[in-house]
Amino acid sequence: MRRHEYIQILDGTHPEHGRTIGLLHQGLIVASAAAISLETVPNLAPWAKSALATFEVFILAVFVVEYIARILCAPKPLAYIFSFWGIVDLLACLPALMFLSPQWAAIRSFRLLRLVRLLKLLHANRALMRLEAAMFQCRSELLVFAFMAALILYIAGVGIFIFEHEAQPEVFTSIPVSLWWAIVSFTTVGYGDMYPITPGGRIFTTGILFVGLGVIAVPTAIITTALINTDLRESIEKEIEEELEDIEREVRKDLAPLKRRPTRRPKT
Amino acid sequence: MRRHEYIQILDGTHPEHGRTIGLLHQGLIVASAAAISLETVPNLAPWAKSALATFEVFILAVFVVEYIARILCAPKPLAYIFSFWGIVDLLACLPALMFLSPQWAAIRSFRLLRLVRLLKLLHANRALMRLEAAMFQCRSELLVFAFMAALILYIAGVGIFIFEHEAQPEVFTSIPVSLWWAIVSFTTVGYGDMYPITPGGRIFTTGILFVGLGVIAVPTAIITTALINTDLRESIEKEIEEELEDIEREVRKDLAPLKRRPTRRPKT
Amino acid sequence: MRRHEYIQILDGTHPEHGRTIGLLHQGLIVASAAAISLETVPNLAPWAKSALATFEVFILAVFVVEYIARILCAPKPLAYIFSFWGIVDLLACLPALMFLSPQWAAIRSFRLLRLVRLLKLLHANRALMRLEAAMFQCRSELLVFAFMAALILYIAGVGIFIFEHEAQPEVFTSIPVSLWWAIVSFTTVGYGDMYPITPGGRIFTTGILFVGLGVIAVPTAIITTALINTDLRESIEKEIEEELEDIEREVRKDLAPLKRRPTRRPKT
Amino acid sequence: MRRHEYIQILDGTHPEHGRTIGLLHQGLIVASAAAISLETVPNLAPWAKSALATFEVFILAVFVVEYIARILCAPKPLAYIFSFWGIVDLLACLPALMFLSPQWAAIRSFRLLRLVRLLKLLHANRALMRLEAAMFQCRSELLVFAFMAALILYIAGVGIFIFEHEAQPEVFTSIPVSLWWAIVSFTTVGYGDMYPITPGGRIFTTGILFVGLGVIAVPTAIITTALINTDLRESIEKEIEEELEDIEREVRKDLAPLKRRPTRRPKT
């Protein structure tokens, strides 16, 4: 096996061993993310704590070994070290270097950068490429939508502050806080931490929410149209092309005897 | 009437009696589901309790009779008993076997498996087949979406924990709990049991919710595109085909006198 | 002016006076709906109460006059009295008959039936007809969706009851109550009156909400596809037809001299 | 540089200097909006207060200078002063005229009108024009939807009042208040300030929410269809046209020798 094949294995793109090793590798990153999140649970049982600590050592060992392997196998080791992925891999290993120190918890979270690697697997994915193409195609529409949404949010925040500040000075304390209400309401999350209680504020909210419903429908419409544009148009184009080629062939076949005549005639 | 006709009647697919018996059968399953749910209501009136108990006996009797009838009518009784549907039917009858025991409540819930039978009715449904075809067609896009949604959820959960843990240690106790907040917020349910209160946490939430709105728009766009692809393309294809056949016929008709000439000419 | 013209005026379909009178009429119904809703406000100022009472008398007078006018102008008065709209109009007037009695409040709400009249105006509306056509076209898909949504709701309600009943016996008291939670969560309303607190219940909710997001995307997809099917297909069909007729004409024109030759030849 | 070029610079449409100055100008409006919102934060640090006051003076100075510059550069100064934008600009400057008076806070908010200017930048935007065209195309469908949504909201509000008023007289106090519940629930915001607790009210809400889910799906479907209609149809039309022109050319080329013959024949 050649060097570049080792890298293919680590990247999960090797034709033979790639799939298995790749999946194991990705699984390890996911497990590592789960471990980081579990460690924050308060009052963990001692056995769980030590299990997580052991798993931590194991994960770090694997990452360090992988980092060294990648440097050794890279056609240009220095280029790899200073590449984007090289730095990500280094940051993921850093905790290992200061393992014994008690302050390493913060640095450990750099490991989360490895999650970016998961996106790598997707790069060859056809479905993602189609989604990306659609998103790229409608980027200016989405920008216009984001701009208009921001404007409506600002108007909603200022408006609700004017209506509700006097009635609930403890809740709608300032415009920035009212903007938070506007965001929570417009996205239809509605936590219930802030809501209008005056008739004026409620009528204003009704108007603004009705506009909001329309605005929220827009990105769905934009993305759908873009997806159909890349997807459906392609297939309709192909369909029409094929059909028209068929008819062209048929017409040409019908015309063939007519065309041959002029060339045959001189012979007679 | 032959044996297989009895099974058709029980399955609701018999040409004559199928519809009525089938609907009664399905209605019984739905009623049974309703009864199971009503029994959990605390402080039921005694008459309601006894009515539910009587209905219970009736339902079980019907299911036992049906199970025996299906074994008797099956072309291969053993094949039926060990088939998926046979086991579902047996589990639905099991409570009858231990009717007098007071611990049968738990086993009774196996009867819910019968709900699966309701899905059976849909198998011949054209609308469902079209939906299924569309879903199948866009399965990889939906998978990519689910993966990206999971990634954003993880980032949101970790991020909000970093921002809010210090300010609300009793609410955002750990990352897994923060993930719960992320799920409730991203699906725009927003129970109000957890919400950010720090400016940092709120700005972070705003950003993540804006991305979330876009992400939530994506599955709608994907499914719509797939539905249109299976639905509209088909009809447009047919339309184009027909139209082009028409024009082909017309052109051929116009060309016919030209084509006949060469063969007629030798005669002159 | 003839009798049927008076009815056209009342219906708002008269070519000359219809628009104004029709709008006034509809406006009165809306104002009446607003008045009914305002009367329920507690602690109304005395002037507001008397204003609403006066308006009430006015509205009733108008409705009674209209009812009598419709009977007088109808080509077949009896047919009108026993028609659907005749009964609606009578029920709207009934309060007038028992105006002095203090118990008429309940009967007055029959007047809300007049709101149905507002729908009448829409019947000639082209946009509504297109929406209706689209809805009708996809009715079986929507039914399948409703059935599947109901099934998922039932499973969600039973599931959350199993997970949360022990931890929150005061909140998730029974399966019917848990179904209410399922509905509030699935529609992403999320009042916050009930929510899972156990890890098991939260993980279950996460799974069920993810499925729910997909399911909620489906009716949008179905309606969009149906709307496009009635709308876009029509226009594409027309487009293709026109284009193909054009090319047909062109080809025929090109073939014309060829076709004329055989008839010209005998002359030579 | 000519006069009208100065106006182009201020409007951000000048070919050379427009972009930079335009962006600065727009940025200033956004910063001014942010400043207005920050001033409402209670208990600001003294340094922040004085910074905001200084920024206030600066903004006002810029706006006054701009207003004077626009009058001087306008081809018809009076026409500008009494135009829509002229009045907006004047209202934005007004605070400067009464700077020393302590009551100017209210008038200052006129400055927010300048946000309208941000929309000006978008006027030449192609993506917005397409969105606008789509919105305009489906305006009657959206109106019908708004009408039906309003009707359902009214029915929901009256219905929940009937079901819940007795059980929660402190929450569902009147129909207008119940309408507020209907709006918050239909838009799936669900603050949690009001929710039904009686079985009847909950079953009613379930029915109304299921209809609501369908209704909320409608505007998305309408806008998507309109966007596709303007977008996709255009491109499919172009596609078909091109393809058909191709085949027309091909057929004509094939027919060319046939057509030339009749004219050549007389020569022989």
D22: left (phi over 0), alpha (psi -120 to 50) or beta: alpha
- Considering the domain architecture, whether residues D151 and D119 belong to the same structural domain is answered as no
Question: Is there a domain that residue A267 lies in?
Answer: no
* Cβ contact, residue pair D127, A147, below 8 Å: no
- Considering the domain architecture, whether residues A144 and A258 belong to the same structural domain is answered as yes
**Domain with A39 in it: what CATH number?**
1.20.120
Tell me: the pLDDT tens digits for C141-174?
Answer: 888 888 788 888 888 888 898 889 889 999 998 8
Which positions in chain A touch B182 (Cβ < 8 Å)? Answer: none
- Considering the domain architecture, whether residues D233 and D148 belong to the same structural domain is answered as yes
- Considering the domain architecture, whether residues A105 and A187 belong to the same structural domain is answered as no
Which positions in chain C touch A189 (Cβ < 8 Å)? Answer: 190
Tell me which of D124, D144, D176 is where a domain ends.
Answer: D124
Question: Is there a domain that residue D23 lies in?
Answer: yes
- Considering the domain architecture, whether residues D255 and D142 belong to the same structural domain is answered as yes
Q: Which residue of C190, C220, C258 is in closest CB contact with A190?
A: C190
Please report which confidence band the pLDDT of residue C182 belongs to, taking 50, 70 and 90 as the band edges.
very high
Give chain A's contact residues with C (Cβ, < 8 Å).
Answer: 188-192, 220, 224, 258
Q: Give the residue ranges of DSSP H helices in chain D.
A: 3-11, 18-39, 46-73, 77-81, 84-97, 105-108, 115-122, 126-137, 139-164, 175-186, 199-264
Of C154, C204, C201, C207, the residue nearest C182 (C-alpha): C154
Take residue A246 and report the two structure tokens written for it.
Answer: 């068929």
Contact D11, D22 (CB under 8 A): yes
In whole angstroms, give the CA distance from residue D41 to residue D49.
10
In whole angstroms, give the CA distance from residue C171 to residue C156.
16
Average of per-residue pLDDT values in chain B = 76
In whole angstroms, give the CA distance from residue B92 to residue B109.
8
Instruction: Tell me which chain C residue has its CA closest to the CA of residue D191.
Output: C191
Question: Is there a domain that residue A153 lies in?
Answer: yes
CA distance A37 to chain C (A): 14
- Considering the domain architecture, whether residues B93 and B138 belong to the same structural domain is answered as no
Q: Which residue of A141, A214, A255 is in closest CB contact with D127?
A: A141
- Can you give the residue range of the structural domain that contains D229? 133-262
Instruction: Tell me which chain D residue has its CA closest to the CA of residue A231.
Output: D232
Take residue A49 and report the two structure tokens written for it.
Answer: 């704590």
**Domain with D74 in it: what CATH number?**
1.20.120.540
* Cβ contact, residue pair C192, A188, below 8 Å: no
Of A148, A145, A141, the residue nearest A229 (C-alpha): A141
Tell me which of B124, B145, B169 is where a domain ends.
Answer: B124
Q: Which of A146-160, A190-204, B64-78, D212-226 has the lowest mean pLDDT?
A: D212-226
Question: Is there a domain that residue B256 lies in?
Answer: yes
SS3 (DSSP) at A22: helix
Question: Is there a domain that residue B190 lies in?
Answer: yes
Q: Which residue of A140, A233, A236 is in closest CB contact with D127?
A: A140
Q: What is the mean pLDDT of residues D128-137?
A: 78
- Considering the domain architecture, whether residues B137 and B116 belong to the same structural domain is answered as no
- Considering the domain architecture, whether residues C140 and C85 belong to the same structural domain is answered as no
B181 Cβ neighbours under 8 A, 6+ residues apart: B157, B160, B172, B194, B195
Q: What is the DSSP string of B192-257?
A: SSS---SHHHHHHHHHHHHHHHHHHHHHHHHHHHHHHHHHHHHHHHHHHHHHHHHHHHHHHHHHHH
Question: Is there a domain that residue D177 lies in?
Answer: yes
> B46 burial class (0-12, 13-18, 19+ CB within 10 angstroms)?
exposed
Share of chain D above pLDDT 90, in %: 8
Share of chain D above pLDDT 70, in %: 70
CA distance B240 to chain A (A): 7
Which positions in chain B touch D189 (Cβ < 8 Å)? Answer: 190
Count A/B contacts: CB-CB distance under 8 Å.
147
pLDDT above 80: residue D229: no
Q: What is the mean pLDDT of residues A110-119?
A: 61
Higher pLDDT, B22 or C260: B22
Which positions in chain D touch B224 (Cβ < 8 Å)? Answer: 224
* Cβ contact, residue pair D244, C239, below 8 Å: no
Which positions in chain C touch B36 (Cβ < 8 Å)? Answer: 158, 175
pLDDT above 70: residue C234: no
Q: What is the mean pLDDT of residues D85-106?
A: 64
- Considering the domain architecture, whether residues A73 and A161 belong to the same structural domain is answered as no
In whole angstroms, give the CA distance from residue D147 to residue D175.
19
In whole angstroms, give the CA distance from residue A219 to residue A216.
6
Beta strands in B55-172 (DSSP E): none
Q: Which residue of D37, D126, D216 is in closest CB contact with A175?
A: D37
Q: Which residue of A161, A232, A258 is in closest CB contact with D40?
A: A161
- Sign for the CA dihedral angle at D97, D102, D108, D110 comes to negative
For an interface test with B, which of D185, D213, D216, D220 has the most B Cβ atoms less than 10 Å from its Cβ? Answer: D220
- Considering the domain architecture, whether residues A165 and A90 belong to the same structural domain is answered as no
* Cβ contact, residue pair B188, D188, below 8 Å: yes
pLDDT at C205: 92
pLDDT at D195: 92
Which positions in chain D touch B188 (Cβ < 8 Å)? Answer: 188
Question: Is there a domain that residue A102 lies in?
Answer: yes
For an interface test with C, which of A220, A239, A261 has the most C Cβ atoms less than 10 Å from its Cβ? Answer: A220
CA distance A173 to chain D (A): 7
Which positions in chain C touch A191 (Cβ < 8 Å)? Answer: 192
pLDDT above 90: residue B127: no
Question: Is there a domain that residue B267 lies in?
Answer: no
Q: Which residue of D184, D193, D227 is in closest CB contact with A221?
A: D227
- Considering the domain architecture, whether residues B172 and B113 belong to the same structural domain is answered as no
- Considering the domain architecture, whether residues A51 and A144 belong to the same structural domain is answered as no
Higher pLDDT, D175 or A113: D175
pLDDT at B66: 83
Contact D108, D33 (CB under 8 A): no
For helices D126-137 and D139-164, give the axis angle rounded to 10 degrees.
70
Average of per-residue pLDDT values in chain D = 76
Which positions in chain D touch C44 (Cβ < 8 Å)? Answer: none
Whether the predicted interface score ipTM is above 0.85: no
**Domain with A178 in it: what CATH number?**
1.10.287.70
In whole angstroms, give the CA distance from residue B122 to residue B119.
5
Which positions in chain A touch D240 (Cβ < 8 Å)? Answer: 240
pLDDT above 50: residue C268: no
Take residue A156 and report the two structure tokens written for it.
Answer: 């909603």
* Cβ contact, residue pair A192, C191, below 8 Å: yes
pLDDT above 50: residue C264: no
Contact C11, C18 (CB under 8 A): yes
Q: What is the mean pLDDT of residues A163-173?
A: 90
Tell me: the pLDDT tens digits for D24-51?
Answer: 877 887 887 788 788 778 888 889 888 8
Tell me: the pLDDT tens digits for A47-70?
Answer: 988 888 888 788 878 888 888 888
Of C221, D137, D257, A77, the residue nearest B220 (C-alpha): C221
Take residue B179 and report the two structure tokens written for it.
Answer: 């993930």
Question: What's the first-to-final CA gap in chain C, in angstroms?
Answer: 74
Q: Give chain B's domain count.
A: 2
A197 DSSP 8-state letter:
-
D137 Cβ neighbours under 8 A, 6+ residues apart: D226, D229, D230
Tell me which of B70, B89, B124 is where a domain ends.
Answer: B124
* Cβ contact, residue pair D192, B188, below 8 Å: no
* Cβ contact, residue pair B192, D192, below 8 Å: yes
Torsion angles phi and psi, residue D129, rounded to 5: -60, -40
